[in-house]
Each structure stands twice: as C-alpha cells, then as structure tokens.
Amino acid sequence: MKATIVALVLLVAGALAPVIFAGQPYALYVLTLALCYAIPAIGLNLLYGYTGLVSLGHMGFAGVGAYTTAVLMKDVGLPFVPSLLAGAAAAGFVGLVVGIPCLRLRSHFFIVVTLAVGMILFTLFNNLDGLTGGAEGLPGIPRPQGFAIGPLEVEFRSLTGFYLLAFTVTTLIFAFQYVLVRSDFGRSLSSVRQDETLAAARGVNVFGHKLMAFVLSAAIAGVGGAMKVLFLRAAAPLSFELQESINLVLMLILGGAGYLIGPIIGAVIFVGLPEFLRIASEMRLIFFGFVLLLLARFAPRGVCGLAEAAYKKRFDREEAVGIAHS
Amino acid sequence: MATAILEQFINGTMMGSIYVLMALGMVLIYGVMHVLNFAHGVLFMVGGYIAHLFFFNLSGSYPVAILCSMVTLALIGMVLERLVFRSLRDNLRMQIVASLGLILIVQNGVVQLWGPHALQMRPASVDSLVRVGQLSFTVQHFVIIGVVVAAVTTLYLFLRYTRLGTAMRATSQHPEAAVVVGIDPNRVYTITFMIACALAGLGGALLGPLFLIFPQMGDAPMLKALSAIIIGGMGSVPGAIVGGLGIGILESMSTLVIPTDYRDTVVFGVLILMLLVRPWGIFGVRVRGEN
Amino acid sequence: MVSPILEVSGISKSFGGIQAVDGASFSLGQPGIYGLIGPNGAGKTTMFDIICGRQVPSEGEVRFHSERIDGQKPYWLARQGLARTFQECRVLPEETCLDNVLFAAQDKRLGGELWQTLTRSGKARREAEAEARRLLRLINLERYADQPAGALSYGQRRLLEIVSCLMSKPRILLLDEPASGINPTLLNTLRDFLVEIYEETKIVFLIVEHNMEFIMSLASEIIVMHQGRVLTQGTPERVQSDKSVIDAYLG
C-alpha cells in the first residue's frame, strides 16, 4: 500500500538524516527533539487514534518514565536498556493504577480525569524534592554508555550518536505500534472506538481492551519521556506540565490520529516547522492555536487525512476515466 | 485555632464564589449545548485584562470597568459561538481540539499584547480593610461574595421567570421539542454562550485586583470549576453553586492541615473520588444502563 | 429428559417504581424460529435486554443449555455462542463489509489476539475469507465486499448485521425488531432470508418484533407478553385466535 511506501521513505530519510544535515547541527538537534516527542505521540495515537480515548494529561506518564530512568541511570548507575525498560514499566504501572478505576467512566468524565491526573503528577514532580529534585529537577543525567563492535566505536554523547539512538528507539516503538494495530487486538481496539456496544455484543471485553491500550500507551509515553531527558541531560517538571500534554494532543491531531505515521509527522511539523519558518517561540503557539481551530473545523483527520483524501480524489478520477475509455 | 478556621472559611467562600461564577458559565454551556468548553479559563483571564484596560484607560471607576469587561466578554462569546462551536455541536473530540486551539491563541495572544509579566489593579475596595474579630480582610473579599450572590440571584430569576430563560431551560431538556414550540435553538445557544462568557469575565474582573492579573490566572480556576460542575452534577445549576462553594471552602480549609503546594491535588483527589463513587454528581440524574 | 435450549424462569425487573417485567417464564425446547411479541409496555424489550446481558434481572434466572446466563456481561454471552442484532442496526461503519463479517469470527480473548495474529496460518485465513464471501453472496452484497459498511443503505446494513452474526457460528440468534425501518417491499426478502439461514443453521432464533404480519408469517412458535408476564405460548394460528391475546392488544 501507499502508506508502506511513505513509511519506508521516512525510514530511509531518517536513517540518513545525519548525512543530510551534515553541516547543520541545529537541524539535527531539532529533529532529535522531534523524535523524543514522536514517541509519546505514538503512545497517544494508540490510545486516541485507534481506541478513541482522549487523554489530556499524557505527558504526566512521560514524566514518570523520565524520572524513573533518570534516577536509575544517574544515582543507581544502571545501564541504559534496563533503565529505559524500568521507566516504561513504571509509567505503564501508573497507567494501570489510573486506568482500572477510571476507564469505566463515560467519555466526558474520563477526559476530565486524565486532566486531573496529569496535574496531580505534575504537582508530585514539582514537590517530591527528595525523589525528583523538586522544581529544579535533576541535572547531570548521563548519556548511555557507548560500546564497540569490532573496530566500530558506537557512542551516544555526540549529537549524531544520540540522534541515531533516538531514531532506533523510535523505529522500534513504531514497529511495535504497527504489529499491534495490524493484529486482531488492533482490530478489536478499532471496534471499541467505532461502536462499543456492538464490540461487546461481538465478544470484545471492552474494558479489558481499553485498559490494555491505556497501559501500553502510558508505557510508550514513558519511553518518550526518558529519551527526552536523556537528550537534554536534565529532567524538570515543566517538561511534563499541562501545556506539554496539550502540545502532544496537538501534534497527534495535526499529523493525523489513527494513522500509523500520523504522530511522527505531527511531531516533526510541530517541533520543526516553527524553526524552519523562523517563527518566534511566542508566536509559534498562537500559530498552532489557529492551526488547531482550522483542523477541528475542516480537517479533523490531520495531514495524513488530507493526503489520503487528495490521493483518493486522483485515484477515483483516474478510475472513472479508465471506465470511460474501456 | 478558631480564628484560623474562620479566616480560611471566609477565604474559601470568597474563592468559592469565583468558582461558582465560572462553574455557572460552564454548566449553562454544557446543559444547553452539550459542549465542554475548556477555554473558559482563558475567557476568565481576559475578563481580568479587559477590566484592567478599562479601569486605567477610561474612567478609573471599578464598577464601570467590571461592566465593560462583562459586555466585551459577551461579545467575544457571541463570536466564538457563531464561528467555532456552532459547527462542532455533536463532535466532542473536535470541540476539545477547538477549545485547546482557543486556549493557545488567547493565552499566548495576551502575552503578545500585554507582555508576560503580571499586572496590578488596585481599586479602592482592595486597599481598604474590614475587621472581622482579630482578622482583617480587604473589602474586595466581601464585594466578591456580594456581587456573586447578586449575580446568581439575577441568573435564577432570569432562568425562572423570563421568556428567554425559559427557552434556555426548554432547549437544555429537549432541543427538538423546543423547536416545535417555536424556540430558535441557534438564538438560545448564542445567548447562553454570551451569558456564560459574561460571567467568566465578571469572575476575572473580580479576582484580578485581589491577586494579580496574569496569563495563567484562569487555568486552575477553570479546572476547579470543571470539578465543581462534575461534583455538583453535570447540567445542574444548583450543583454548580454547591460544587463551586464546596470546592472553594474545602480548598482553603485543607491548607490548615496540608502544605499549600498540595492544595490543588486535594481538589482533584476529591474529583476523582466523586467520579468513582457517584459519577452523576450530587444533584445529577443517574442515566439508565450505568451500573 | 433433554434440557431446554433457553429457559427463562420467574424473571422480574423494576426500574425505580416501574415494574417492567413481573414474574415472566418461558422455555424454548428445540431449534426453531420463535417470536416474542406483546403490546407496548408488555416488557418484551426489557426481557430481551435481560437475555442479552444488557440488564440484570431483579429476580429469576435465565439458563442457556442449563447454564445460568442472567447477569453476565454481553461479551461473555457472545463468547458462549449468543449472537444478537440491534433494533437500531449496528455495524462497524469504517470497516469494509468483508471485514465486518470477518470480525465476528475473530477470537476476542485479550491474550489470544496477539498470539492468533502470529500463529494463524494462511490456510485458516483463506478459509475464513471464503466463508465470509459466501455469506456476503447470500445477501447479494459480495460486490460491496471492499466498501465501507457505512456506505450501505439501511436495508443492506440490516442484512449485513445478521450475516455477521452467522460468521461466529452462534448457538442461538437473538434479533431485536429486525423488520423495523425496513421498506415493506423488502420485508419479503428479509423473511425469505431468515428462513433460508434457519434451514442452514437449525439453531434457535428468538425475534422480538412489533410487526405482526411479519412475525406471524415467519415464526413457528409465538410467545406473548403482557404487563410484564407471559400470557401464552403457541403456534401463530393458536395465538392469533386466543381471546386473552386479542383482549390484551385491544384493551
């Protein structure tokens, strides 16, 4: 399908980014940051795009993963991979604790709960000084240890090195999303989004599926949060406040919720476009505010949705022409 | 100890009154239009800024500034309803997206126009003090409580005894039937939105002088108001009043036992508890099929 | 003695102050097309909802092949072989007609789903698709196999909904007012179709219906409810001439 081709193109372009942006370290920096947002956006996509649940506090889960990984790597000295997995597990666990009581609620109420949970988590990050460093956060987070494969030296302290790590992690998370979505589990999630009552009547344990989606999306957000603080070498509560959660939703809607590559496109546009257009940081959010309004009104399926619609128009026209000629 | 409790009780009633204003606006919009307007917080904030503008640039009269703020917000509400929310009426997810978009535009727009630093506004009612036993409060504290009581009473009379108010109540209960009786739902929706925004503006204009006027000033109140209408019962006007006051008092009283940093957490904790135990709220109606 | 397929005993259900069902009992002993009828307020919809797991009875039991099913969740009932349609006709609007049918056959157990994707052989997949297409052919919708179900007309969706149920090889089929909203000219097609799939599956069909003509010409046995109780149970001819039934509808 055409979507697979686009995904492959992105994969190749992403892998070659250090080469493409060889003389422009700032561009690579922006791209790396974009990937650190793309990961939680993929998590949100699983929850919102495929299961239909809105979460307005999702960066809170990213924060749980971020602080867990940071503390394990900085204070305990654990290597990268176990720390990252622990961060994902911690975030997933918080998702479980929140999800079990709250997913039974009707959609309006659930959305408000996610908002409240996000704010509670932020308050905790800001005030549990012993654990999280409070408002100042945790500086001095080490980069993952490099290693050698034969003569090849792989390190993550340089921009290029970390970019490739972030790219690899993003690709793995994307692949995970792909497998989930294309599986029978993904089909059940989709049925929950389209018609819960019907899904239940056809044998889907709606609550169980929602919980699973919620936990997985929280864990993925945790991975994203961890990557972000590893990149910036510091964890601070402001990285995970309400505005950041709103930005995450924005990115996903912009790219296209319910499309596999939607979150990645959205993150890249959100983080990269203002840099590219040299929009000052204050105007950037106003700009995206208008973008959101336009999206809500005219293009709720985002960039991917617009692309799909445009493609269908051309494809249908060609088919009609073909019939006329035959 | 008793004085501390009294102090927090009065503070709580004052803040609770502000939450009541916000909650009433949100519950009207939700009850009549079934729209969850998350942008209500920034409208509250704009109310504060507009009041400041009129206070300094026009008359120096605080009441006039408040009135101008309410009128301006009502007009903004009319525009928003027509341009943004009308076409999204049955689409919950896109309403949320649009609300978020509005928040971004307005909050950052305000920063562009007025700068990121807080503004101060000191009408006479903030400078003069009132003694209650050993405590002293600004006159503004009681102005707020008094104005909100007046506003709520006016709203109640309006909803109960005027044609337009009755039309609003009818539309909230059964839109199709309301149309049959000759009510124009679009007009009702616009008026509802305008009233809700005016109330939000009033809230901002009242609270602004007491603390400060700054871009994020509406964020926490909006969430508290949202909590209030959920705890009180979505779509219930008495619920919004009870919820708003209750949250204000609970919040203030909690500072006697818990560090102030966790004040918001207490409110959200109660919200979550309510949603788990009794999601339809104190005055809400249990929907059949929910077990 | 062979136990009845579906047995409803002493079911009562009240909402607030309203007693919707008041000690209703009936049993379906063998495969057949059964109609559940009654005047407005008789409690037949509530009874149907209780059997389908949408409501929990205040009193009484429902047994399916001797196993108690009242109070169980709808998704559990579906996995026991209880398939149902909805009065408002529900299909997955964004999925293709083919996927709608295939979805019904998919194993929905949470753990099983991922495992199934990884292990399901190409052969099983092809067989499932062939069966799904056969079912679509039954209702003349094979040419719409790759169209989204939301694009179909109401009558077509109704047929799709029923045929999706069949894909899961149910042990009992519960139809909620299948004739509602169907054009009178299409009712014959619907009736013939239901007879055809009954002949093929030979399971219990329980149909709640308002349309007298439709249900009387279709069912082999009719259960009449009135004021929350079962008034009588018998063949269409006997029920139509039963005085108490006539009184219930006219009174």
Please give the pLDDT value at position B59. 67
Select the highest-mean-pLDDT range: B56-60, C15-19, C174-178, C236-240.
C174-178
How many domains, in total, are found in chain A? 1
Confirm or reject contact between B23 and chain A (CB < 8 A): no
Closest chain A C-alpha to C90 CA, distance in angstroms: 6
Best of B268, B273, B277 to mutate (most A CBs within 10 Å, chain A):
B268
Q: Which residue of B has its CA nearest to A293?
A: B98
8 Å CB contact of B101 and A293: yes
Spell out where C59-217 has E strands: 59-64, 67-68, 82-84, 172-176, 204-208
Chains B–C, number of C-beta pairs less than 8 Å apart? 3
Residue B288 with chain C: CB contacts under 8 Å: 15
> Distance between CA atoms of A153 and A146, rounded to whole angstroms?
8
Please give the pLDDT value at position B287. 58
Best of C76, C92, C109 to mutate (most A CBs within 10 Å, chain A):
C92
Structure-block tokens of residue A63: 């924060």
Confirm or reject contact between A245 and chain B (CB < 8 A): no
> Distance between CA atoms of B79 and B70, rounded to whole angstroms?
14
Chains A–B, number of C-beta pairs less than 8 Å apart? 117
- The answer to whether residues A219 and A89 touch, using CB atoms and an 8 Å cutoff, is yes
Whether residue B289 is predicted with pLDDT greater than 70 in this model: the reply is no
Confirm or reject contact between C137 and chain A (CB < 8 A): no
Q: Which of A110, A96, A104 is nearest to A55 (CA)?
A: A110
Please give the pLDDT value at position B291. 32
> Distance between CA atoms of B88 and C160, rounded to whole angstroms?
31
- CATH number for A47: 1.10.3470
Q: Structure pTM?
A: 0.90
pLDDT category, B286, cuts 50, 70, 90? low
Residue C113 with chain A: CB contacts under 8 Å: 183-185, 188
- Amino acid code (one letter) for A274: P
Q: Which of B100, B109, B227 sits opposite A292 (nearest CB)?
A: B100
In the predicted model, what is the mean pLDDT of chain C?
89
- What number of other Cβ atoms are within 10 A of residue B40's Cβ? 27
Confirm or reject contact between C90 and chain A (CB < 8 A): yes
Q: Which of B222, B270, B213, B215 is nearest to B52 (CA)?
A: B213
DSSP for residue C121: -
pLDDT category, A69, cuts 50, 70, 90? very high
What is the percentage of chain B residues whose pLDDT exceeds 70? 97
8 Å CB contact of C56 and B291: yes
Lowest mean pLDDT among A13-27, B195-209, B274-288, C141-155: B274-288
- What number of other Cβ atoms are within 10 A of residue A268's Cβ? 22
> Distance between CA atoms of A97 and A95, rounded to whole angstroms?
6
Which domains occur in chain C, in start order? 6-250 (3.40.50.300)
Please give the pLDDT value at position C92. 94
8 Å CB contact of B100 and A246: yes
pLDDT category, B137, cuts 50, 70, 90? confident
| Full domain range(s) for residue A270 | 2-325
Q: What is the pLDDT of residues C167-222, one digit of tens each?
A: 989 999 999 999 998 888 889 989 999 999 999 999 999 999 989 889 999 999 99
- The answer to whether residues A219 and A180 touch, using CB atoms and an 8 Å cutoff, is no
Q: What is the pLDDT of residues A155-176, one digit of tens each?
A: 888 888 899 999 999 999 999 9
Confirm or reject contact between A116 and chain B (CB < 8 A): yes
Confirm or reject contact between B268 and chain A (CB < 8 A): yes
Q: Strand pairing of C221-226 and C229-234?
A: antiparallel
Structure-block tokens of residue A279: 């929009």
Whether residue A313 is predicted with pLDDT greater than 60 in this model: the reply is yes
Confirm or reject contact between C213 and chain A (CB < 8 A): no
Whether residue B278 is predicted with pLDDT greater than 80 in this model: the reply is yes
Q: What is the pLDDT of residues B34-78, one digit of tens each?
A: 888 889 999 999 999 999 988 888 767 888 889 999 999 999 999
> Distance between CA atoms of B27 and A195, rounded to whole angstroms?
28
Q: Which residue of B has its CA nearest to A134?
A: B261
Residue A116 with chain B: CB contacts under 8 Å: 223, 227, 268, 271-272
In the predicted model, what is the mean pLDDT of chain A?
89
